[in-house]
């Protein structure tokens, strides 16, 4: 009856020529996810259930903001070769900001290449790699001055599975808590 796409996997044009109905969801923020849950509820005749889920997720988001707080600057990397950051208006950035971190990024556009000088100047407390970042060693090797940052000195460089920080579904709210505990657990073991 209906083909549902997310913005990253769209082949809508191919379906249009065969008159196959489809919808594309854009989930670039937590609010987008909530809005799309509402739309899905309406499309499937499960509006009451979708509104209940939205309410639960809004409560969870507020609970996270009030109870799971990290402080400091964070750099979130899309890739370590070359070091590339996420767009300021992306889900990974919002996830980290929900936890209280100030996500840094040069004001140069989407997926900006990050210079070692910029990282040294901003001196992040956390460096978090995901997507194309495979290892902490890769992050360290790709940025020569990284060893001078607070993140390196305090061993606060992490590689987070893409499914945790890029999952554009209602499950991302659970993943935010997991990310908090990953970062906090490491902090407490030092």
pLDDT in tens, 154-178: 999 999 988 888 878 889 999 999 9
Residue-wise pLDDT for 80-139, tens only, equals 888 888 888 889 999 999 999 999 988 766 668 888 889 999 999 999 999 889 899 988
Q: Quick one: 73-188 is in which CATH superfamily?
A: Nitrogenase molybdenum iron protein domain (3.40.50.1980)
Inter-helix orientation angle 172-188/30-44, to 10°: 150
Report DSSP state, residue 16.
H
Q: Which residues make Cβ contacts (< 8 Å) with residue 19, sequence separation at least 6? A: none
Angle (deg, nearest 10), helices 91-98 and 47-67: 60
Question: What number of other Cβ atoms are within 10 A of residue 126's Cβ?
Answer: 24
% of the chain surpassing 90 pLDDT: 50
What are the residue boundaries of the structural domains of the chain, listed by start? Answer: 3-67, 73-188
Per-residue model confidence (pLDDT) at position 45: 94
Residues 56-75 have pLDDT tens digits of 999 999 999 999 999 999 99
pTM of the model: 0.84
Is 31's pLDDT higher than 90?
yes
């Amino acid at each position: 009856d209906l083909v549902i796409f997310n913005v990253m996997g769209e082949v809508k044009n191919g379906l249009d020529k065969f008159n196959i109905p489809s919808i594309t969801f854009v989930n670039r923020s937590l609010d987008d996810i909530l809005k799309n849950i509402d739309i899905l509820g309406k499309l499937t005749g499960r509006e009451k259930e979708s509104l209940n889920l939205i309410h639960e997720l809004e409560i969870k988001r507020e609970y996270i903001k009030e109870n799971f707080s990290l402080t400091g600057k964070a750099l979130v990397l899309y890739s370590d070769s070359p070091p590339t950051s996420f767009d300021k208006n992306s889900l990974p950035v919002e996830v980290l900001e929900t936890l209280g971190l100030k996500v840094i990024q040069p004001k140069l556009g989407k997926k900006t290449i990050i210079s070692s000088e910029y990282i040294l100047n901003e001196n992040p407390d956390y460096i978090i790699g995901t997507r194309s970042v495979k290892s902490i060693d890769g992050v360290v090797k790709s940025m020569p001055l990284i060893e001078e940052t607070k993140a390196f000195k305090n061993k606060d460089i992490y590689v987070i599975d893409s499914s945790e920080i890029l999952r554009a579904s209602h499950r991302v709210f659970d993943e935010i808590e997991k990310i908090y505990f990953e970062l906090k657990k490491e902090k407490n073991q030092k």
